[in-house]
Amino acid sequence: MSANTMESEAIAARGLVREFGAVRAVDGIDLSVRRGEIYGFLGPNGAGKTTVIRMLVTLLAPTAGSITVAGFNAVTQPDQVRLRIGAALQAAALDDKQTGRELLNLQGRLYGLKGREIAARVADLTDLIDIGDAMGRLIGTYSGGMKRRLDLAAALIHQPEILFLDEPTTGLDPISRSRIFEEVAKINSELEMTIFLTTQYLEEADALAHRVGIIDRGRLVAQGTPEELKHSRGSDLIIVHLDAPVTPEVAAALEALSSVDFVDAHDSELTVSTGNGAALVSGVALKLNELGVGVRELTLRTPTLDDVFLQVTGSRLRREESEGDPEDQGQG
């Protein structure tokens, strides 16, 4: 790797492996996150996202492989890494018995900031997270959204070079979710802070992330800009939900239609990729009718990250299942 590449990389992982006993939770991942970019890290339940993020933030040692964060080796120079990163991990990790201001003050002290530096940062972050008067209240009285925003502020108190966010919006209502993502976008654009983010909300990763990586069963199965990944699915998709599971014969019959790029079948869902969906949609409907297959729903649309996700992992991301998965808590 060239010196220029290393300098431009905020996070670099090579051959990253983490085993928990006989279980290989992370299986040879290579990651490269450039300085100043927002990198969305996606994966189904138990895929190893949290294990990866815990290794990157020095909470967990890899079984094999190397990790460089902000130019320092995360295994042999964890203290240097810790000075340069901020992290808000799964579920707001706060102390309900402190006030918001006390928590931020403590964070500032632990990062070696002086009194006036802490005061300035707390004032700035109070504006950022829009908590206002509640900063003087015990955190135990905060709503879920307020806790998440305070968690974000705590991760930012020392103006880190790299911010790690592990599912920062899980369990939040749509308005709180949207506010968190707005704040993340502002932090990135104003401070040029590198942001490594895992999320279950693909549409938000699509809108926010400069590049996306998809992990499945401990392996990185796709990586690129959202546009590149979606483009890999073709320009149009015809999604068909059948009454019964898709048979190989039905898939083969559709694949034989002219102008079909490829057909994916998962349970009772068929995805037909084509360069011109409007021209093909009636042909698909007629062929299914001819085969005597019952159709529940047929839609034509452009690809989304969820379609990419389906293609590379074999299932769509189900948000409700991802919450509270013990295997994805970094324990295995």
Partner 1 sequence: MALASSTREITIRARKAGFFRDIFAVARRAVRSMLRDLETVIPALFIPVFMFVVTVGALQDFAENIPGLDYRAFQLPVAVLFAVTGVSRAITVVTDIQSGYFDRLVITPVNRVALLLGLMMADFVLIIALTIPVVIMGFIVGVYFVTGVLGILAFMLIAGLWGLIFNGFPYAIAFKTGNVAAVNLSFLLFFPFLFLTTLFIPQEQMTPWMSMAADYNPVTYILAAERSLITEGWQLTTIRNGVVATLGVGVVSLGLALAALRGRATRK
Q: Residue numbers of the site for partner 1 (CB under 8 A)?
A: 54, 57-61, 79, 82-85, 87, 89-91, 93-98, 102, 106-107, 109-113, 116-117, 120-121, 123-125, 127-128, 138, 154, 158-160, 186-187, 190-191
Nearest distance in Å: CB 127, partner 1: 4
Q: Which residues contact 318 (CB under 8 A, 6 or more apart)?
A: 44, 45
Closer CB to partner 1, 53 or 280, in the complex: 53
Phi/psi of residue 31, nearest 5 degrees: -130, 145
> Between 85 and 270, whose beta carbon lies closer to partner 1?
85
* Residue (31 or 163) nearer to partner 1, CB: 163
Contacts of 271 (CB under 8 A, 6+ apart): 237, 238, 239, 240, 263, 264, 265, 307, 310, 311
Tell me how far, at minimum, the Cβ of 89 lies from partner 1, in Å: 6
Q: Which amino acid is at 243?
A: D
Question: Whole-number minimum distance, CB 140 to partner 1, in Å?
Answer: 10
Q: What is the 3-state secondary structure (H, E, C) of 21-47?
A: CCEEEEEEEEEEEECCCEEEEECCCCC
C-alpha dist (Å) from residue 96 to 92, 134, 138, 223, 258: 10, 13, 6, 38, 62
Nearer to partner 1, 57 or 263 (CB): 57
3-state percent helix, strand, coil for the chain, nearest multiple of 5: 40, 30, 30
CB-nearer residue toward partner 1: 43 or 62: 62
Shortest distance, CB of residue 154 to partner 1, whole angstroms?
7
Shortest CB 92 distance to partner 1, Å: 8
